[in-house]
Amino acid sequence: MQTVLDYLLPISIAIIMYGIGLGLTVTDFKRVLIAPKAVFFGLLGQLVLMPLIGFGIAFSFNLDPIYQLGVILIAACPGGTSSNIVTYMLRGRVALSVSMTAFNSFLIILTIPIILEIAFGLFWDAKKMSIYPC
């Protein structure tokens, strides 16, 4: 059963994204390049504001450090294919969503490790805790 899911889910997402891509034109992406302010603020929200909110939640609630790190990890991972699908279904600016996903795919290589390094420094005490039970 797991093998079916390992192949079926990625293939389904690829087919859906292919269908969404067929509806886009070069003009859609020209609009994004002509007015890059939307991409800039979208990336700022996803890569800066969301992790800051995650840190705020992690500090505000009395959670175990592993859960604090989990909240930060979720907040540090910007939207991807699913956001493009939702944007398409809600008749939003799909070219903008796809462009932001493309930029995010490159930027998260740097941002996620940096954000998690900060989170580990704040929440994880290596002397008291270990991810491996003894």
pLDDT band at residue 85, thresholds of 50, 70 and 90?
confident
Distance CA 91, CA 105 (A): 23
pLDDT in tens, 24-83: 888 888 887 888 898 899 899 999 999 999 999 999 998 899 999 999 999 998 877 788
Give me the half-sphere count of Cα atoms (radius 13 Å) on the Cβ side of residue 33: 5
Distance CA 124, CA 69 (A): 8
pLDDT band at residue 18, thresholds of 50, 70 and 90?
confident
Three-state SS annotation for 26-52: HHHHHHHHHCCHHHHHHHHHHHHHHHH
Distance CA 77, CA 50 (A): 9
Residue 131 clears pLDDT 70, i.e. is over it? no
**Taking all residues of the chain, what is their mean pLDDT, rounded to a whole number?**
85
CATH architecture classification, 2-123 = Up-down Bundle (1.20)
- What is the Rg, in whole angstroms, of the alpha carbon atoms belonging to the chain? 18
Q: pTM of the full predicted structure?
A: 0.75
pLDDT band at residue 14, thresholds of 50, 70 and 90?
confident
User: What's the pLDDT score for residue 41?
Assistant: 93
